[in-house]
Structure 1
Amino acid sequence: MRLAPFARAFAATAAALLALQGGAHAQDNWPNKPVHIIASFAPGGSSDLVARQLAQHLSTHYGQQFIVENRAGAGGNIGVSFVAKAAPDGYTLGLATSGPLANNKWLYKPMPFDAAKDLTPVALVGEIPLVIAANPQVKAASLKEFVALGKSKGKDLTISNPGSGTIGHLAAEYLRINTGASLRSIPYKGDAPAMTDAIGGLVQAVSAPVTALVPNIQADKLKALAVTSSVRFPGLPDVPTAREQGIDLVATVWNAMIGPAGLPKPIVDSLNKEINRYTSSAEGKAQLAALGVIPLSATPAQLSEKMAAESAKWKRVVDAAKITLD
């Protein structure tokens, strides 16, 4: 039987309303099955452990399992790409770092996703600052003195980092470019070898996430010159920030919860509220501090702005230093 134009329009409108009601009802009942959080790095690292702490808290709050699934590789791109391609129904989320959310688009070509278009920012979780630490024999007690030494010496000072394109590498290049000091950044394959050669004096300093270096700084095997967060790191309260020394360097590894593009606003708002409550609570602060993470909170819009600002900031460094991972 053929419908008249008015009847067809009425039927289409009714069907659309039913679909919207069904979608709203599904969101009201969310989550009614396990939720997967994709951790974009290997098990045992700080990002993985943050994801597991969040998963435990969210499971308790929502009365439904939040399961961490590790999909590591390509600087975090593999895991985040999986999230970007998932259905936007709230059952696949991601705990990602600043690499795939801001920096990697200038380092990896081609990128498997566009962070600005293919993802929904949900909540900022926390950050780990870098520390620039020197071999004890280096005649500099602060980052300011280290930079002055780099300007006065006849040859480059060397700074190791955990790998080409890592935030430790970018921060060292940022320092060189913006201070004019003669510094040479040397990529290693991970925190441990970069730190070992700084302790051994094969390089003068190391630029890496603070959590990897704290034990050797406390043991006086390395001399902390500066942390690169906006405020001092609680685990090294006597070490000043770069900014306190008149050097405008802020570089951290930050974690954020994300979802695929089109994630329904009620789900985003619910998760954002609960994650912010966790990172602001005494329990959340203590659990994150045990991993060397400084808790943060932000609205989804603020997280989106941070992703864009950090991306623009590090693009200038990548371009100036001609860093490529191709």
Structure 2
Amino acid sequence: MLRRRDLLASAIGVCLAPTLSRAQDDWPQRPISLVVPFSAGGSADLVARMFAQYFQAKYGVSVVIDNKGGAGGSIGSGFVAKAAPDGYTLGLGTVSTHAINPALYAKLPFDVETDFEPISPLVRLPNLLVVNNKVPVKTVSELVAYLKANDGKLNYGSGGNGTSGHLSTVMFMKALGVTMTHIPYRGTSEEATALINGTIDLAIDSMTTIWPFASAGQIRPLAVTTPARVAAAPDLPTIGETVSGFEAVGWQGLFAPARTPRPIVETLAAEVKRIFLQPDLVAALQKVGGEPMPMSPGEFARFAQSERVKWGSVVREAGIRIE
């Protein structure tokens, strides 16, 4: 026999069901906050604004970009994890925040496995190996020789501890058997500024953000991190052409707080697919090496899990841990 509190809970559920159903059917009815866990001007910020522009045009509601940088993206991601699961707070997640950080940080303000609803990846992004214009090298092989001749004397930047750029450079150093000093910034845009003014010697980071500075001659591009060359810069070699087997590709995706209603999650996933297959957006991404990669929520969940396995292994092998 049902206890009194069980009967009460059941009655409340029955009463609320029509209200919840209407709320889901009417979504969205007010502005949506899209949290980007990095500073404005970086690749994550750029991709988020692309999504916001097309979503707003269809639904007539604002998508407000909320940049909450810090701790390798963990501060902003933690905010999303604790937000109300009503479809009005979303998060831009990356390979760093949802695949690398769980292995990198001793303690996170969220559980990456249970505190989020994966919606869909947005884009796959190559990283770009660049040096500032004062570093006397023009090819990867020249850089390899220069690093070995000056082992421990150079520094490199990243958009934050544990980001894809940070660990990609760790992988690069390990492959060459050299060391450099790491200087983390609060985002890729700050890192790019440091490259331009000569504060840091080298970086491997998102081509989406770095390429405009490289193509303008403000910094020197040497190679991409993808297995094959990219359409945006077909004459630029891959690192793997010189350093056999090297590959490091970033991605960005859309997440909601856990327990966000399934109809909202499915609607968002369909919108990601619609938006990121728009010909003009695809062309814009290709100019900076990006490639759309929409998936269903279930496919994205499995992909993110496989990425955690892959990058967790890199973190442990490198012996990096942030307390």
Identical amino acids, percent of aligned pairs: 32
TM-score by length of 2: 0.81
The alignment of Structure 1 onto Structure 2 pairs a total of residues equal to 316
Task: Rate the CA distance shift 1:260–1:154 in 2: closer, same or farther, 3 A.
Answer: closer
Say which SS state the counterpart of residue 179 (structure 2) adopts: strand
Decide whether the 8 Å contact of 1:132 with 1:207 is kept in 2: yes
Say which SS state the counterpart of residue 124 (structure 1) adopts: strand
Which residue of structure 2 lines up, in the alignment, with residue 185 of structure 1?
Answer: 180
Which residue of structure 1 lines up, in the alignment, with residue 271 of structure 2?
Answer: 274
Decide whether the 8 Å contact of 2:122 with 2:294 is kept in 1: yes
Q: Distance in 2 between matches of 1:7 and 1:221?
A: 71
Which residue of structure 1 lines up, in the alignment, with residue 95 of structure 2?
Answer: 98
Task: Rate the CA distance shift 1:220–1:321 in 2: closer, same or farther, 3 A.
Answer: same
Which residue of structure 1 lines up, in the alignment, with residue 77 of structure 2?
Answer: 80
Q: Distance in 1 between matches of 2:286 and 2:256?
A: 25
- Rg (Cα) greater in structure: 1
Shift of 1:244: 5.4
Q: Distance in 1 between matches of 2:146 and 2:153?
A: 6
Say which SS state the counterpart of residue 233 (structure 1) adopts: coil
Shift of 1:16: 3.0
- Please list every run of 5 or more consecutive structure 1 residues that lacks an aligned counterpart in the other structure: none
Task: Rate the CA distance shift 1:139–1:69 in 2: closer, same or farther, 3 A.
Answer: closer
Which residue of structure 2 lines up, in the alignment, with residue 160 of structure 1?
Answer: 156
Partner amino acid, structure 1, of 2:157: N
Tell me whether 210-219 or 168-177 shows the greater mean CA deviation. Answer: 210-219
- Please list every run of 5 or more consecutive structure 2 residues that lacks an aligned counterpart in the other structure: none
Superposition map of 1:107-256 within 5 A: 107-133=104-130, 141-142=139-140, 149=145, 155=151, 158=154, 160-162=156-158, 164-177=161-174, 179=175, 181-188=176-183, 189=185, 190-192=190-192, 195-196=195-196, 203=201, 205-214=202-211, 217-218=214-215, 224-243=221-240, 247-256=244-253
Say which SS state the counterpart of residue 72 (structure 1) adopts: coil
Task: Tell me whether 1:304 sits opposite 2:301 in the alignment.
Answer: yes
Shift of 1:258: 0.6
Q: Distance in 2 between matches of 1:75 and 1:152?
A: 29
Shift of 1:132: 2.0
Q: Distance in 2 between matches of 1:40 and 1:146?
A: 32
Q: Distance in 2 between matches of 1:310 and 1:88?
A: 25
Task: Rate the CA distance shift 1:291–1:135 in 2: closer, same or farther, 3 A.
Answer: closer
Decide whether the 8 Å contact of 1:40 with 1:70 is kept in 2: yes
| RMSD of aligned residue pairs (Cα, Å) | 3.5
Say which SS state the counterpart of residue 248 (structure 1) adopts: coil
Which residue of structure 1 lines up, in the alignment, with residue 33 of structure 2?
Answer: 36
